[in-house]
Amino acid sequence: MTGTKTNERPGVRAQHRHARMSATKARVVLDLIRGKSVAEARTILQFSERGASYTIAKVLDSAVANAANNNDIPPEELFVATAYADEGPTLKRWRPRARGRATRIRKRTCHITIIVGRYSAEEWDRIRTRQAESGRTTPDAASARARRVAGSRRRSGAPAEEAETPTPEEELAGDEAATEAVVTEAFAEDAEDAGVADGADSADDGGAAAEDAGDEAAADAVVAEDSAEIADEAAAAADEAGETDKKDED
């Protein structure tokens, strides 16, 4: 890839030579992004199902980086001015076929060129006006996310100065803290459930012990009554036997 200016077309370009794909396949994707803004072109390439999209996205990023580093042009003011693919050398390979014959395999290559240009002042003002009317200040994803975070915090009552885009490290730390909080809460709920279950088991055991003690006391009372009755019957029988003996002696 190169990042030099071209004389035949205004703008900053990047080129990928000897790409291992045919020019026809690359042109299908290049036709989708030609004339689009950089942000829109990146979105199209990101969601394209064509295999050439990955290579073309790298060429586009190289062209944008060349414009930003060499010409100090902001990426949001760039658009895809020209995108084309020229045929490169063809690699010849051979495949054996029947009866000792061989079939040629042609592995095509191409040279992909993307030229990004800068919007004119009038056109850039019109684009910014349309974005402001639609509620979008910039097509950049990071800026849009920061704006959404700021609006969310304003609605929740947080101070506006704190509405900054969190770094990946801060997001990771926040996710880990949230995960630990969820795990701690789950452990607390399990412990509470276990405590309630133990209390219920203890209450059941205490009630069962009280019922067993009551049953034993009732059984002892019944046995005592039966013993008293047996003793009374034995005393009555003894009295009757004594009276019978006394009558016999008389």
Instruction: Give the pLDDT band of residue 159 (cuts 50, 70, 90).
Output: low
pLDDT at 162 over 50: no
pLDDT of res. 20? 94
Q: Measured between alpha carbons, how far is 152 from 148 in angstroms, rounded to an integer?
A: 6
- Strand 12-19, strand 78-87: pairing: unpaired
Is 116 exposed, middle or buried (CB count within 10 Å of its CB: 0-12, 13-18, 19+)?
Answer: buried
Q: Residue 95, Cα to own-chain centre: how many angstroms?
A: 47
**Per-domain residue ranges for the chain?**
1-119, 121-165
* pTM over the 0.75 mark: no
Instruction: Give the pLDDT band of residue 183 (cuts 50, 70, 90).
Output: low
Q: What is the mean pLDDT of the chain?
A: 78
Higher pLDDT, 76 or 139: 76
What architecture is domain 1-119? Alpha-Beta Complex (3.90)
- Strand 110-118, strand 78-87: pairing: antiparallel
What's the start-to-end Cα distance of the chain, in Å?
A: 148
Instruction: Give the pLDDT band of residue 83 (cuts 50, 70, 90).
Output: very high
Q: Measured between alpha carbons, how far is 232 from 250 in angstroms, rounded to an integer?
A: 27
Higher pLDDT, 163 or 216: 216
Residues 6+ apart with CB under 8 A from 136: 144
With contact defined as beta carbons under 8 Å apart, do 52 and 32 qualify?
no
**9 DSSP 8-state letter:** S
Residue with tokens 């701690």: 184
Tokens of 225: 């009554």
Q: Measured between alpha carbons, how far is 85 from 73 in angstroms, rounded to an integer?
A: 25
Instruction: Give the pLDDT band of residue 163 (cuts 50, 70, 90).
Output: very low
Instruction: Give the pLDDT band of residue 95 (cuts 50, 70, 90).
Output: very high
